[in-house]
Amino acid sequence: MNLRKRTALLLWSLTAGAILVAPGAWSVLAQDARPNDPPTEDAPYKPKTKRELQRQLTKLQFDVTQNEGTEPAFKNRYWNNKKKGAYNCVVCDRELFTSNTKYKSGTGWPSFYAPYKSANVAYRVDNKFFYKRIEVHCSRCEAHLGHVFDDGPKPSGKRYCMNSAAMKFIETRATTKKPTTAEKSE
Ligand SMILES: [Zn+2]
């Protein structure tokens, strides 16, 4: 085989190899392209390992969300937060509550009369206390959030008594749009 033929054969095999490998390589690239995007509502949730959670969360956040701990009243991040925004799950980022249903309960914990969407939280009976309570957790990752009681304000009559450590607050940015130069001159 002369040099020209050998070069042609080499080029052909490289091209064929690239075409064969390309679809797989592309899907790997596509998966890795945006690793930090929050999961969408429909994305299947892959439960995190205990080690991953310990790396991601503070000791308090881990204790509250994984061991159903309770943070101290009045000594937590959001009990008196009056800013407009969303309260998302600290583990999986699901939107749990918003400032629209937050109210002053006087308990020292952030309190809401309704979740953002009823499907975003789930419940189970908690018999650990001396009376029966309803435990509230994230419906996607099962992080413990707090409890719900029947002494809340209208319209629901519910009091979602949450732990700040189970949530991260995302403030709503002002959406007032300043007129552009073009709009001003019209
Ligand atoms: Zn979650």
Q: State residue 173's pLDDT score.
A: 84
Would residue 31 count as lying in a domain? no
Q: Domain count of the chain?
A: 1
Would residue 92 count as lying in a domain? yes
Q: State residue 44's pLDDT score.
A: 80
Would residue 62 count as lying in a domain? yes
Q: State residue 28's pLDDT score.
A: 39
> CATH number, domain at 65?
2.170.150.20
Q: State residue 2's pLDDT score.
A: 57
For the chain, which residues score pLDDT lower than 70? 1-43, 174-186
Q: Which residue range is the domain that position 121 belongs to? A: 50-171
CA 108 to each of CA 63, 73, 80, 96: distance values in angstroms, whole numbers, following the listed order: 19, 4, 8, 19
Residues with CB under 5 A from ligand 1 (ion): 89, 91-92, 94, 138, 140-141, 143
Known catalytic residue at 141: no
Q: How far is the CA of 121 from the centre of ligand 1 (A)?
A: 9
Q: How far is the CA of 15 from the centre of ligand 1 (A)?
A: 46
Specify whether the CB–CB gap between 101 and 117 falls below 8 A: no
Q: Can you point out the beta strands (E) in 53-181?
A: 85-89, 95-98, 102-103, 111-112, 121-126, 133-138, 144-149, 159-162, 167-171
Q: How far is the CA of 176 from the centre of ligand 1 (A)?
A: 31
Would residue 38 count as lying in a domain? no
Would residue 27 count as lying in a domain? no
Q: How far is the CA of 93 from the centre of ligand 1 (A)?
A: 6
Would residue 54 count as lying in a domain? yes
Q: State residue 20's pLDDT score.
A: 44
Would residue 95 count as lying in a domain? yes
